[in-house]
Amino acid sequence: MRRIRLFRLIAVATVATVFGFATPALADSTVAINTDHVPTTAEGFDKHECTGPLADLDEDQDGWHFVAPGQASFSSVTLDFHTPGGDVHVVITSTDSTTPSTGSGWEGFLDNAGDAEKHAYLITDAGWTLFAGSAEVSGETQDFFNLSHTCPGTPTDESPSPSPSTSESHDPGSPSPSISESTPPLPKTGTAIMSIALSGLGAVAVGAGILLVLRRRRDALLSGSDE
């Protein structure tokens, strides 16, 4: 009986030891995103595919599809983006596409493939730049996970066209004429009138002198004929 009890104790201890060493192996591990895949925009990534959950996105949205490494399963996916409004930190934990993890400008969920959450789908505002990422995974794994493909949209233009300056109210090609160009110079008549007046006076004086000479000659002739 003692030997049977001893063997039972040894068996229990052995099983406990095995499970004690096996338990840490089942714990999640952290892996980084493939460094060959960042930084990138959805438009700049080399593989585009707008299918499955990324089909029929709005024009101003980008779609992202990530794949767990090896035979591992995603527990969560963390991603960091540069955006026009500042950096955005994304954490995806939902496994239900109808109630995805959400944040300002994004939503995402983990998708099952067989017995593992092999896929992570994310939809963001168009034009964001993915620059870092990590994931909590369980099961057989490798050192990184991959960005499988993207579905790029078209970023909205957030820079309105500048309004024309109010100071440019007239046509620069048609400048207002200056006074010197629009007003012809007045005729200089003073000198001409003076010349005409002097000439007239001179003519009058000459005529008067001639008359005076003619009268004197006539008087001389008359006085000579009387003698």
Report the CATH number at residue 100. 2.60.40
Within a domain: 137: yes
Domain assignment present for residue 211? The answer is no
Task: Please indicate, yes or no, if residue 19 is contained in any of the structural domains.
Answer: no
The reply to whether 198 falls in a domain is: no
**Three-class secondary structure of residue 71 per DSSP:** coil
103-117, 140-154, 203-217, range with the lowest pLDDT: 203-217
Q: What is the mean pLDDT of the chain?
A: 78
**Domains held by the chain: number:** 1
Residue 139 within any structural domain of the chain: yes
pLDDT at 81 over 80: yes
Residue 161 lies in a domain: no
Does 202 or 28 have the greater pLDDT score?
A: 28
Q: Is residue 184 part of a domain?
A: no
Question: Is the pLDDT at 62 greater than 90, yes or no?
Answer: yes
Q: What pLDDT sits at residue 192?
A: 52
Q: What angle do CA 142, 143, 147 make, to 5 degrees?
A: 90
Distance CA 87, CA 124 (A): 13
Beta carbons of 91 and 76 less than 8 angstroms apart: yes
**pLDDT on residue 115:** 81
Structural domain range at position 37: 27-151
| Pairing of the two strands 73-82 and 129-138 | antiparallel
The predicted-structure confidence for 21-59, as pLDDT tens digits, reads as follows 444 445 789 999 999 999 999 999 999 999 999 999 999
**pLDDT at residue 133 greater than cutoff 80:** yes
Average pLDDT over residues 4-23: 47
Beta-strand ranges (E) seen in 114-173 are 116-125, 129-138, 144-151
pLDDT of residue 212: 73
Nearest to 100 by CA among 83, 78, 122, 132: 122
Q: For residues 116 and 77, give the distance between their C-alpha atoms in angstroms, rounded to a whole number.
A: 14
- Note the pTM of the prediction, 2 decimals: 0.60
Q: Would you say residue 200 lies in a domain?
A: no
